[in-house]
Structure 1
């Protein structure tokens, strides 16, 4: 929710009070994932969305109430035959939304998140969104813990959830979510013990963007870089030929590197700058570049490795990679020829095909038409 966070930070810096509604849990075909947010300002303006229009009108009124009272609220939205066109979700999904007020007293924590994001470092905000009567650490007023939060970055922790043991447990677990780039709920019992359901903490992860590394400075690479940036990836284009690997030819890429592909990837792996979210698109379709690069890429736990080329190129490449010692399960991870069968030909159509395959791999989709499938439209996160 970068645009929502920026608006939240801006208004709190200006001394305003705002209500922030954040999706903390979803079930079935909920339209937005955990972390989606809507901000309601004192002047009545709205930034962001939590459902694409299904529940925003009701949530707006609740946010105005929280803005007036300062009392946070966890709201559950579902669907039934009676309420599907009233306040429920017509898609059949369910979601929990936590609504809380932010004032200028939260500015120090927001400044920490803003500084981390500006520096390209991950940060997380951990908020107590539910505390039932079984949470004796919350004393006689379980609701008194609602809205407490702490902020963590790589080097510091600010704020508290009201108990040192709980803080320690939450920080450890939140770092695991943050490393994976995921927002989600942590549940604890008394004083941070990892059992029971007395406390629910929502971790809003502000992770660094995942990387897309495109090898091969060709016209198809320009289109893939453009759609990769649109999908939220930090895009690098790499090619060994300086005449082709220029910023002018790839204006949508965040960086353009002149280097032999396998050497560049080896340097990035050694420096810890690729992870399980990284996608690699090999568009060089030249064996002297492809084979050493793919041999290295397929040995890494990357999210996606795809390679452009004809069927004949694919077969020859597979043969060379087998001879290089790659195991069958490693070769099975190679998406080659790259992309889904959409019937496209142009660089832009090919880029859509590649992007669709990457999204399907990330979300566990089949790539088949939704009209031909039964069951939920949205896959579990």
Structure 2
């Protein structure tokens, strides 16, 4: 589950805790920077492990909510002879998890993040701890040039350092942490820049071993949009799998009896003919588009309007012969995949939906990797049996 989703869930959950993996070493199920939400009612959204840590985190959630204190928790599964976690741990790494009560300032921060996500913006969230971790700064800023992958990295505070352009900055007083985690090499710099007296360095064996910095930043991408043109029955499983794969799904169709909330619950719906929906969709460079209306004239009209647009992916349902006719006399379209979906011998709507979802995931991951390396690369594993960037 993406941070985009967690921010939306936090807005409707009155009592919840945000758990974030702020440090990961060795083999782990999820990467550093991943978060999940725990509620007082026992619901868990997202995951940090395959299920081996969540019950322990849930047990700590009550104390975090009752005291209003942040808490750092260490899970060290590296010793081979340590069987205390049972046979289901499946990791063997070190994970440091930060638990934060979602209230007041943090709730406001998550709300602002969700607004940015909805507008398609990348967001960077920075947490800075001061005064023996009794004060915390939350900073969010747009990070349009950030890496596309969610990442968490240390950014130590230095004398006279600026936190950069800030869209929103909140400082909140919190009670002393149950675990004081201070990076000794950064103590003097933080004390100087914050105007506080020198912090105590006694009893820092565990924090030194954890090496958790005093300032951590995480970059989060908005969920990419999956725009499906068509609202037939075969679109339903594609929508379901698209949502599960981390896409923000939009279904567009001119047939009002098909394009309904009853058929597509929890999905954005846009009704109208291609010339009417194009201004509403406002297609952007990170959008994924799939044509599944099976209506030749309408799809042709949509493709003509798509000529000068930038997007990440264009998949067309149908045979190569049909697609060739559809594209006849049109300029070459970018990022074209036809027939849509990976070649897995799919038969029937459900299996075809699996092939489409698999190709979408492959293209999304490859695009993220290419952006990180700032190199344009093809997606060989995602275009097997398909035409790409050509008719």
2:241 equivalent in structure 1: 227
Could you say if the C-alpha distance between residues 356 and 204 of structure 1 is closer, same or farther in structure 2, counting changes exceeding 3 Å?
same
TM score, norm. by length of structure 1: 0.62
Could you say if the C-alpha distance between residues 62 and 245 of structure 1 is closer, same or farther in structure 2, counting changes exceeding 3 Å?
closer
1:52 pairs with 20, 26, 50, which one?
50
* Cα separation, 2, equivalents of 1:358 and 1:92: 28
Q: Which aligned pairs between 1:99-248 and structure 2 lie closer than 5 A?
A: 99-102=98-101, 106-111=103-108, 113-114=110-111, 117=114, 121=118, 126-128=125-127, 143-144=132-133, 148-150=136-138, 152=140, 171=141, 173=143, 177=146, 182=150, 184-185=152-153, 187-190=155-158, 191-192=161-162, 199-203=214-218, 205=220, 207=222, 209-240=223-254, 242=255, 245-247=258-260
SS of structure 2 residue aligned to 1:52: coil
Q: Deviations over 1:278-315 (max 9, x none)?
A: 21111235553334533554654423211011132234
1:377 equivalent in structure 2: none
1:251 equivalent in structure 2: 264
Q: Deviations over 1:162-194 (max 9, x none)?
A: xxxxxxxxx354x6559x694643624512479
User: What's the offset of the Cα at 1:244?
Assistant: 5.5
Deviates more, 1:3-12 or 1:248-257: 3-12
Q: Deviations over 1:301-331 (max 9, x none)?
A: 423211011132234445x2xx4332xxx54
* Cα separation, 1, equivalents of 2:312 and 2:56: 38
* Cα separation, 2, equivalents of 1:298 and 1:26: 44
2:174 equivalent in structure 1: none
1:264 equivalent in structure 2: 277
2:360 equivalent in structure 1: 358
Could you say if the C-alpha distance between residues 186 and 85 of structure 1 is closer, same or farther in structure 2, counting changes exceeding 3 Å?
same
* Cα separation, 1, equivalents of 2:21 and 2:10: 17
Q: Does 1:280 align with 2:269?
A: no
User: What's the offset of the Cα at 1:362?
Assistant: 1.3
Say if 2:64 and 2:101, in contact at 8 Å, map to a contact too.
Answer: no
User: What's the offset of the Cα at 1:258?
Assistant: 3.7
- Structure (1/2) with the larger helix percentage: 1
TM score, norm. by length of structure 2: 0.60
The runs of 5 or more residues in structure 1 that have no matched partner are 13-17, 132-137, 153-170, 369-381
User: What's the offset of the Cα at 1:238?
Assistant: 2.4
1:348 equivalent in structure 2: 350
